[in-house]
Amino acid sequence: MATDETESSVQPTRRKVLGRIGTGLAAALASPVLARQAGTPAPTTGAKPPAQSIKRDPTTQYKRPPFPKQTQPWPGLASKMVPPPDHGETSYQGTGRLVGRKALITGGDSGIGRAVAIAFAREGADVAINYLPAEESDAREVIALIRAAGRKAVAIPGDIRSEAFCQQLVAQAVKELGGLDILVNNAARQHQVGSILDLTTELFDWTLKTNLYAMFWITKAAMPHFQPGACIINTASEQAYDPSANLLDYAQTKAAIVNFTKSLSKQIIHRGIRVNAVAPGPIWTPLQPSGGQDPNKLPQFGADTPIGRPGQPAELAPVYVTLASQESSYATGQVYGVNGGNAQP
């Protein structure tokens, strides 16, 4: 039979409850794993933390046009660009969002792929990058940055216009990383041609093989290795929505990447695999001086965006990290625009 005990002897006081909660929370945060789950950042790697979080005007955060007139032979090197692009080498701070993940990134030597590789590594992922042999010097810098973050780095040079190489690329990445759960289809060919009369079958084929066929071949080869929780991130472009007159073939491929993303996401979500895309605007990468833009117009590259300048690769990396992390578990079939204020997508 129950006894009529007083409220003070049965129910803990508010002070006692708060004291117990505080003690439990302190104990939880003492564990690195539980601390991250509770929202406390894990130790960062690869860059010195800033003294404080500094608010900046995005219109002046990076150099604005005009830029020096410059050209490079395809595929171009980030190390030879003026001003040099920012890939987050000294700024990106990891918080443990991808600990234990294994990622393959095409075009990982420079530009967006390089920024994503650095960010993924500093978030705790092991990373394999693909690039062309001519980009070896840039790739070596990326490999060193991944290793400096304490993560495994795998360099796999080769031309993704070959189906056989694409299959080999995935197989090697899986073998050396010990699995695969993030695929970033990022490598692209962009070569501006003013008239369809000057767009040769060879150039057209080169663009489609690099931007579309390779994405299809690599994704298909990766599918058997994915487990629930894996994800695919494709690099599309604002060109899919507002194509430039001199990028006829490139813009077509980027529109196709958007539809590939949306269609594949519906096809494989039942397996617990998410597929999303990022649609950048004008980004300061080696694509631009190595034939992607008219050399006479390159000095004003990005000036027509609302922000008034091109984006830097470092400004896109956080979007890829978010899409790869479990924080985006309800996002699939989406396209995220990072384009300096242009209203697409």
Residues taking part in catalysis: 250
Say which DSSP state 225 is in: G
Query: 298 in helix, strand or coil?
Result: helix
User: CB neighbours of 142 closer than 8 A, spacing ≥ 6?
Assistant: 108, 109, 110, 114, 117, 118, 129, 153
Whole-number Å distance between alpha carbons of 121 and 127: 7
CA atoms within 13 A on the CB side of 142: 38
Among candidate residues 233, 6, 189, 205, the one with its CA nearest the CA of residue 98: 233
Whole-number Å distance between alpha carbons of 135 and 154: 15
Determine phi and psi for 216, rounding to 5 degrees: -65, -50
What is the token pair recorded at 59? 């219109």
Name the region of 124 (left: φ>0; alpha: ψ -120 to 50; beta: rest): left
Q: Give first-to-last CA distance, the chain, whole Å.
A: 68
Whole-number Å distance between alpha carbons of 314 and 317: 5
